[in-house]
Chain A
Amino acid sequence: MSERKTNGSVPAFGNFLAYLRLQGFRIGLDHYVRVQELLERIGGNRDLDQLRTLLCPLFATSEKQQKRFYDAFDDYAELVQAPSPPPPPPPPDPEKAKKPEREKKRARLRFYLAGAGSLLTVLLIGLALGVIPTPSFMTWTPQPTPEVTPKPDETPIPTPTEVPKGKGSGGFVEPLPVTPQPTSAPTAEIPPATEEKPVIAPPAPLRFYLLVISALLALYILWELYRFLRRKLFLRRQAARKPPSIWPIRVEAPAVKIYDSEDFYRAARLMRRRQVAEYHRLDVNATVAATISALGYPTFRYKPDSKAPEYLVLIDRASFRDHQAQLFNELITAFEQEGLFVVRYFYEGDPRVCCDDKGENCVHLSELQNQYVGHRLLIFGNGDKLLDPITGRLAAWTSMFLDWQDRAVLTPEARWELREFSLATQFIVLPASLDGLMALVDHFDTMVTTDPRIWSPSGVHEPPADLDERVNVEELKSYLGDPAFQWLCACSVYPELQWNLTLYLGSLGCLDPGTVREQNLLRLIRLPWFRAGSVPDSMRWPLINQLGEKREPEVRSAIINLLEKSPPPVGTIAADKYDLELAVQHWRREQDADSLKKLHRVMSRLTPGQILKDQTLVHYLEREPNPVLDLLLPRRLRKYFFRRGIPSFGLKTGFRFVIILLLISLASILIRNQTIPVPAFLQNPVASPTVTPPETPTDVEREAARRAEEEAKRRNDLEQAVRQRYEEERRRLGQNRPTPSPTVSSRVSPRPSPPVISDPSLRVRPETFGETTRLQPGETKPGPDNSVISVAFQRNGPLYTRTFQNSDCPIESIRVQKSVDEMTNTEIWVRRRSGEVSKVKNWATPLTDSCKKIFGKVPAPIFAPSPTPLPTSTPTRIFARRETPAVVMPSFIGLTERQMRTKLAASKLKLGQLTYQPQGTPGLVIDQYPVQGATIPEGFPADFVVGKARDDSTLVPVPNVVGMFTSRAIRALEAVGLTYEIVGERGIGQSSSDSRSLFTKARWEYEVVPGEKKVFRQDPPAGKIVKPGTTVRLWARY
């Protein structure tokens, strides 16, 4: 500022004075003269800073004006300031210095994320293409046959159909998908690496399939990751937002004068008319005359003094945007400018508490009574709160007003009813118009009380009733008249009603000239919307439509100009709303794709909650034509697919996932049906496409091919046999096991049920009972009597097992003898009761002759060892599973509890969970788990349900929490022992279990807006009898 200079010429200030006038200053000729004189006296070339404080005292007449002058001067100085050399760079601000650092960090993070994403994609595609070695878990395990050399004491490898149903394993017969055994060329040794076949790569269609699936999945994951990070960034940015949160549109008071008529000046003149003062002065002339009459004896005569009337004005103000209060305030200000002495206060319904213009300094009516009792009291408002709501008469406290000799209620109401006549018993009741004021002054002068009925407005249209509901536009038009109706429509374009904005819009050229006048304003302010400060969203849409194609763009242009003049500070909460409003106004004015794109860009930076506050915008967005979407998806179904039902908000997360699944399924079908040809370079991923195969195979190759064919055929046969055997076992088990009663068993406490083998190619065993112990090299595990010990050998993925029947050939202990670095060196030793100690040399090899019979019936390992030589560093794990004898679960249904316990002990089972349910016959077992016939290990804890007499006291009715705030609803539910889950308006929210994933949490936070939600729906409904602990789902919204 110190750099600013002026040439000091008076004409240079001409524009400034005009600018000041626009700012509401009253500039007269004397101001020009004084400015000129001052400038001449102080000389030119003054700093603007100095001029600022030198000129202000000439124009300001109050504290408020002083501040406004300084602001106006600064604004104007910026406009006219000549370009000055750039100031020297300020010293680095540590805060600002941190900013680029943060930016750098963010850029670095973005770079890393992009890099990681790209790498992941390349990895996935590479995996699919076979460029990168495929991990074992992704390989198509070829079920190769280990080339094991049988020893003389070996039992031939049984076929799956020969799998015995031993004593201990009958119930859970090993329906192991037996790996084809090397019946043709059995050997006890692992073949050397050179003889092993390489891992067979998946066939080309599979690789292509993997490629497509991987690509789709990668794209989906990357997209979701991008969205997730974007939301996190958004939340961080939202958290960094600064106040202010509100930045109302700034409209300078328009130059239009509402009160500029002859009637107004006449009313002001009448109101200024002097009144009789409460004190008297010596009347000299009358005293002289009286003294003469009294023959010189002093006789004093007095006359009442007169004084300028002073007014105490109380204005009913429902809100700071209450146009009714603003209109009355405007009237009073106009009177003040005409020299009336007015003290004004505002009240909200009840005038016993009045506040100043800013609503800060509030006083009780009794204080005003003491201070301004000599003033004329004018109450602007309908006086509702002055009446007793029961009797309809004036409330007792209104006697306070009796101290004011001159008092009146000026009402804006169109219809005069009992209320006005009740008020008239104590006040002069007149319409709040210039006519009413003139009549009031006459009344104050003459003190003639007139019948209020003569002032009852006749021919004044009343506003339509029930304006809160949907109102007929034609009815509204009829009430307001065309100019005022168009004005109302123009006001509906902006979501808020502000006094200055309303006047500004009313004075636009596209509306009728003379729209802004008292009569129109009086009609508008009778609409409750103008008291509340906003037109309901449901009404804005139809009203804007009534503006017409010509007027709407003009009104929007005017609003855009205003918005662009006073943008809020960047980075504030208000800036978001401002950007949205500006983008909406641009879009609605231009109605082209570019502006819509800009709007979407702005919307992407906001929460849906912020957007949804403007229902008219939502309406526009919903109505936005989208030919392709309209064809594909009817509007009524959009809510199921799009967030909030609006395409601009994007697809729902679940639906995006479904789309990806559908794409994957489609790709699978197409690839399987060979609709999509497999690319050439994927036809033989093992052999390089550049390698040309020999045209004529050699004999060795032919022999190898023949062997491979035979091998494949044999493998298929074995697989078929295993599958058949497995299916048989499944059928047998399924028939033996009775179907439990659904009504009863559903109440049994959930326990993990045995896994159902649906696919015989599964590589894991079905559940066996017992405990699994991991054996470290050199560790010995005791083997109890009558048990089955399964030894499993796991190496880099595949699991090899061997089961030893202990009943016929008791095993005392099992020991892993030495470090296992590779399969051939693995030594597992088994000690038997007979004292025999033997070493498991090969997984497919029985141990001793004495156990030949047994081992001959033991199923072969699930998977034969991989013929591929593994590196010595490959991790190897050895497990020993000690399996316990099984029993068949008898039936306990119908027994008493005591009988059940006895039978349970006899069956070598333990009692698990015992539940009493108010169903069935009291005292008798009505349900059991496992069901009858199930094979379970000894000592298995069985659960039972015993009937008992119904006791309703354990059940609770669900309380009605609809309409409550969530916190209160939660308390109500917890009070009766129920749990809750808040699912939000659209199924998003928080749960009492708080089992949200990070993504869900981020999404939930993304959607959350300050404040407490209210429950609008609950499930189960209120009154339903449920068990304590039942989860009640609550839908809540703001």
Chain B
Amino acid sequence: MNEEARFLFYAGDGTRIATRNLQTPSYREVNLPDEAQDYLAEKGLRDAVNVALLLGQPLLVTGEPGTGKTQLARSVAHELNLHSPLVFNTKTTSTAKDLFYRYDSLGHFHDTQFQTEGLSIEKYITYEALGLAILLSLTPEEAGSCLPRELQTVGPVRSVVLIDEIDKAPRDMPNDVLNEIENMSFTVRETGRTFAANPDYRPIVILTSNSEKNLPEPFLRRCIFYHIAFPDKDRLKEIVGRRLRLDSGFTDKMIENALRHFIEIRKLGKLRKKPATAELLAWLRILEKKGIDVNDKSRAEELSFTYSTLVKSKDDLELLRNTPALIAKYE
């Protein structure tokens, strides 16, 4: 059975899979190379993190998608020997309160229809990433039963909070959380209780932005800012070396060729979205699996199929497949 036939689960010709001596593959979580210990921060980013830690201010990180903004939080938590970051994925409808807690008013209302006594409002409050981090900085007595049962005995600990893609939030949200983030405290309006973080265990807040929207100036002034530029070839090689543990069959020369090819692709001006580090790592993993050397002209067609890992739109894919400079070099 040749290489291609091993992956021919769906042949598209009406034949049963059994006739090909194959089985439907079981789901296995794609293990993307995002181990925190393999993250490699550049000097500027490293200093920015340290300044944020020293001054206790939130760190705002911008950069192209896939440059490792989200990974940074994991890396910081790993190096500071903290538990996994508490992540808040910003939605376009998120409000400032959502960063700390959510109140299930409908459930509360519903329950009051059947049970008028013994209902605690605390039951309908769910603490979100920043709220949890503040609560975790408190002693179990101070936090009380606000924390989920599995976390009630953890504190006081320091946490890393990742507020991802804050630029997706409505315009008001960054301004609304200014004081709360600065003071690291919040009030649950429904119960009237106020929680303030223990300064010794002040949460480390990392915000990321894709710069889709300009954040308000007052908010920016309260943040430590760093923009992650796209790494150059040498640094890409370093990142690849740390993040991917490639087979020995995928030689350094093949990696070198792939990186050069990748940089040429990024230079194509008409790409709607340029592939970033994450796409590169995924692409290299595929090249490794298939054992493709980008300079191997005999496998140019196979190579062109792997482009779908790098670009995410039909136009970009066609552009890659039809770019004479790329074709001429690898045909």
- A contacts, CB < 8 Å to B: 26, 28, 30, 34, 37-38, 41-42, 50, 53-54, 56-58, 60-63, 65-66, 307-308, 310, 336-337, 339, 341-343
Contacts and interface: CB of A to CB of B under 8 A. Distances in A.
A636 B34 CA distance: 80
Interface of B: 43-44, 46-48, 50-52, 54-55, 57, 59, 62, 170-172, 211, 213-214, 216-218, 220-221, 223-227, 229
Nearest to B59: A57
A308 B171 contact: yes
A307 B170 contact: yes
Contacts of B170: 307
15 contacts: A30-B221, A34-B57, A42-B54, A56-B48, A56-B226, A57-B224, A57-B226, A60-B225, A62-B62, A62-B211, A63-B211, A310-B171, A337-B217, A341-B171, A341-B216
A556 B224 CA distance: 43
B227 A62 contact: yes
Given A38-B55, A341-B171, 5 more contacts: A54-B51, A57-B226, A58-B51, A60-B225, A341-B213
B63 to A, nearest CB: 8
Contacts of A26: 217, 221
B40 to A, nearest CB: 16
A448 B57 CA distance: 46
Contact of B44 (A34, A56, A336, A339): A56
B214 A53 contact: no
Given A28-B221, A50-B47, A54-B47, A336 B55 contact: no
A66 B213 CA distance: 18
Given A61-B220, A66-B227, A339-B216, A38 B172 contact: no
B225 A66 contact: yes
Contacts of A339: 216-218
A63 B62 CA distance: 8
B227 A60 contact: yes
A53 B43 contact: yes
Contacts of B217: 26, 61, 336-337, 339
Contacts of B47: 50, 53-54, 56-57
Contact of A54 (B50, B171, B211, B218): B50
Contact of B226 (A42, A66, A341): A66
Majority SS at the chain A contact face? helix
Nearest to A63: B227
Nearest to A69: B225
A60 B228 CA distance: 13
Nearest to B52: A57
Nearest to B172: A308
Contact of A53 (B48, B211, B221): B48
Contacts of B220: 61
A336 B102 CA distance: 32
Contacts of A341: 171, 213-214, 216
A755 B102 CA distance: 115
Contact of B51 (A28, A57, A62): A57
B214 A34 contact: no
Q: Report, nearest first, the 8 A-B pairs whose CB atoms are least far apart.
A: A57-B48, A61-B220, A53-B47, A63-B227, A57-B224, A53-B44, A54-B47, A41-B54
Contacts of B50: 54
A307 B171 CA distance: 8
B172 A307 contact: yes
B260 to A, nearest CB: 24
A308 B211 CA distance: 19
A33 to B, nearest CB: 10
Contacts of A65: 225
A37 B171 contact: no
B58 to A, nearest CB: 11
Contacts of A54: 47, 50-51
B152 to A, nearest CB: 32
A26 B62 CA distance: 20
Nearest to A336: B214
Contacts of A60: 225-227
A56 B229 CA distance: 14
A337 B214 CA distance: 11
A50 B48 CA distance: 11
A341 B44 CA distance: 29
A143 B43 CA distance: 96
A37 B218 contact: no
Contacts of A30: 221
A286 B95 CA distance: 22
A58 B55 CA distance: 10
B253 to A, nearest CB: 27
Contacts of B218: 339
A58 B224 contact: yes
B327 to A, nearest CB: 26
Contacts of B57: 34
Contacts of A310: 171
Q: Which of A28, A41, A53, A342 has the most CB of B within 10 A?
A: A53
B163 to A, nearest CB: 17
A38 B225 contact: no
Contacts of A58: 51, 224
A336 B211 CA distance: 15
Nearest to A282: B105
Contact of A37 (B55, B59, B214, B227): B55
Nearest to B47: A53
B71 to A, nearest CB: 18
Contacts of B216: 339, 341
B276 to A, nearest CB: 15
A50 B43 CA distance: 9
A37 B225 CA distance: 17
B225 A61 contact: yes
A50 B46 CA distance: 11
B60 to A, nearest CB: 8
Contacts of A56: 44, 47-48, 226
A343 B212 CA distance: 10
Contacts of A337: 217
A10 to B, nearest CB: 15
Nearest to B46: A53
A37 B171 CA distance: 31
Nearest to B227: A63
A42 B51 CA distance: 9
A138 to B, nearest CB: 67
A38 B51 contact: yes
Contacts of A343: 213-214
A746 B186 CA distance: 109
A66 B220 CA distance: 13
Nearest to B223: A61
A195 to B, nearest CB: 88
A56 B44 CA distance: 8
A65 B218 CA distance: 16
A54 B226 CA distance: 10
Nearest to A42: B54
B85 to A, nearest CB: 19
Given A41-B54, A307-B172, A57 B221 contact: no
A784 B229 CA distance: 97
A41 B55 CA distance: 9
A307 B95 CA distance: 12
Contacts of A50: 47
A1037 to B, nearest CB: 36
Nearest to A341: B171
Contact of B54 (A38, A53, A61): A38
A66 B50 CA distance: 17
Contacts of A66: 225-227
Contacts of A34: 55, 57
Contacts of A342: 214
Nearest to A360: B269
Contacts of B171: 307-308, 310, 341
B51 to A, nearest CB: 5
Q: Which of B44, B217, B225 has the most CB of A within 10 A?
A: B225
Nearest to A28: B221
Nearest to B269: A360
A353 to B, nearest CB: 15
